[in-house]
Structure 1
Amino acid sequence: MSTDPHADQSGELAWFKSSYSGTSGGDCVEVATTPATVHVRDSKRPLVASLTFSAEQWSAFAAYAGLA
């Protein structure tokens, strides 16, 4: 069992998407976080590889993109 608060009970990452994405599907990006990393994937292709960033890399991206 995982002790990571960002993982579900099976130890898998807990993926989420923005509430702005709505419920009609479409092109969405899903994100899963751990204390040290941020994982990003295409919601239409969840079994294809995801991108993984360190917390520092994600913070720099968010600041550059005006998200932080």
Structure 2
Amino acid sequence: MTTVYVVKTGEKFLCSAEDGDIGLAPEVKEAKRFPSNEEAEKAANMYADPGYEIMTVNVPER
């Protein structure tokens, strides 16, 4: 298992949009995965609403 970080803002999660920008996804499985808490925090400060939450997610290694 690998630990990654996702950003929850309101009821949605930051994700990679089709055009390469940042968008919002309704489910954690669609969320953009950040390799470190620091990178998730940086993205959250740029794109998420105040009150966001950084969540730790364990995903299987490929």
TM-score (norm 1): 0.28
Give the structure with higher Rg (CA). Answer: 1
**Larger RCO, structures 1/2 (Cα 8 Å, 6+ apart):** 2
Q: By percentage of residues, which structure has more strand?
A: 2
